[in-house]
Amino acid sequence: MLEGKKLLLVISGGIAAYKCLELIRRLRERGADVRCVLTGAGERFVTPLSVATVTGQRVFRDLFSPTDENEIGHIELAREADLVLVAPATANILAKMTAGIADDLATAVLLATDKPVMAAPAMNGRMWEHPATRANVARLAERGVQFVGPEEGEMAEAGEWGPGRMTEPADILTAVETFFAGAGRLQGRRAIVTSGPTYEAIDPVRYIANRSSGKQGHAIAGALARLGAETTLVSGPTRLPDPLGVRVINVEAARDMLAACKGALPADVAVLVAAVADWRVAEPAKRKIKKDSTKGAPVLKLVENPDILAKLSADNAGRPALVVGFAAETGSVVEKAKRKRLTKGCDWIVANDVASGTFGAESNTVHLVTAEGVEDWPPMAKSTVAQRLADRIADALEGVPARPTP
């Protein structure tokens, strides 16, 4: 049921816009309050009068309308909703959302909102597969936009078939219901996530690092926040945008990451995904090390970094109720992960084989190793791994008393 839920539906200009009328009807049948913003192109496909009739409310269309802005401004419109749904989401509106362009009411609302955003793309298959759209969708997903579809099927253009059909209203409705069923499952919980690589200084210019992109860790932080957890993401240097609704602490070296994690305690759950450097340079040079062929190449003395996962798993009063580690391995992944779970003292290990190019990729094949056994998850997008893990965390914390907030 969606009783009392406020939805803001942004209808952009695609042939699938006609399906919105049915979507609105179904959302309202479940008790949702649906307000609509119609783009100029959207109006070409569905009339404001039909939308107003099915929503039972006036339709918002103009960023510069004196009456609209007097009654309810775009900022308020953006923030009053519990969920902003963009359906159909054309290639054009996705591109504008990615770039932060706000040249009409719909895009201004999407830029101004601090609420979760769900998008149901609809476009020609070639447009969906164009590298520009691929990049935009990946970027928006990293920022926490949830995508429903598109589906594969017949296109509006006669004889064309491909990915790009908008998901049917009944399935969009299910996605919205699933979203609301999940939202709030981790309300009142505190989560710490580490992500990305660490940089260990050699001198003021050079450092030792690794290939972690941070995609999986950032996606997990976003997924926990979407379930309502007060989430702190302690991130090494990455090229990723901050996930929506997450407090981000940027660090470079392992020791700073450990300090930031400790500072973020108490927490109910810690998910340590960062690829922390095992070693750092014992004494980083204060000045840039100069090449001197008479002396030969410098020798770097390494010392071990603190193990953040082991430290947060240590059995003391501040230990989060659930500590989850990651294990990137090449070969015998599950066996190594089982051993790692015991040696580190954490509750779960998410193991993945990185031999096959997981670094920087969009998808991941993982195994969840717990005290109860091993679950092999099928290959899936990193965002899906994140969502599924967040759901499992919510299940595991059910009935566990929450840590008091400091």
Interface residue list for ligand C5P (CB under 6 A) = 194, 254, 272-274, 276, 305, 307-309, 325-327, 340
- With a CB cutoff of 8 Å and minimum separation 6, the contacts of 327 are 333, 336, 337, 340, 349, 350, 351, 352
Q: Which of 12, 6, 143, 147 is nearest to 79 (CA)?
A: 6
Q: Which of 103, 101, 94, 90 is nearest to 62 (CA)?
A: 103
C-beta of 34 vs 337, nearer to ligand C5P:
337
Query: In the complex, what is the shortest distance from the CB of residue 274 to ligand C5P, in angstroms, rounded to a whole number?
Result: 5
Q: Residue 400 CA to chain centroid, in angstroms?
A: 25
Catalytic residue among 136, 210, 250, 352: 210
Query: In the complex, what is the shortest distance from the CB of residue 364 to ligand C5P, in angstroms, rounded to a whole number?
Result: 14
C-beta of 67 vs 316, nearer to ligand C5P:
316
- With a CB cutoff of 8 Å and minimum separation 6, the contacts of 185 are 227, 228, 391, 394
C-beta of 55 vs 231, nearer to ligand C5P:
231
- With a CB cutoff of 8 Å and minimum separation 6, the contacts of 205 are 288
Distance from C-alpha of 259 to C-alpha of 256, rounded to nearest angstrom: 5
Residue number of the CB closest to ligand C5P reads 308
C-beta of 93 vs 308, nearer to ligand C5P:
308
Burial class for 359, CB neighbours closer than 10 Å (0-12, 13-18, 19+): middle
Query: In the complex, what is the shortest distance from the CB of residue 198 to ligand C5P, in angstroms, rounded to a whole number?
Result: 8
Q: Which of 132, 80, 136, 138 is nearest to 109 (CA)?
A: 80
Q: Which of 11, 106, 1 is nearest to 54 (CA)?
A: 11
Query: In the complex, what is the shortest distance from the CB of residue 248 to ligand C5P, in angstroms, rounded to a whole number?
Result: 17
Query: In the complex, what is the shortest distance from the CB of residue 76 to ligand C5P, in angstroms, rounded to a whole number?
Result: 41
Tokens of 134: 């691929």
352 is catalytic: no
Q: Residue 5 CA to chain centroid, in angstroms?
A: 22
C-beta of 34 vs 385, nearer to ligand C5P:
385
For the annotated catalytic residues, the residue numbers are 210
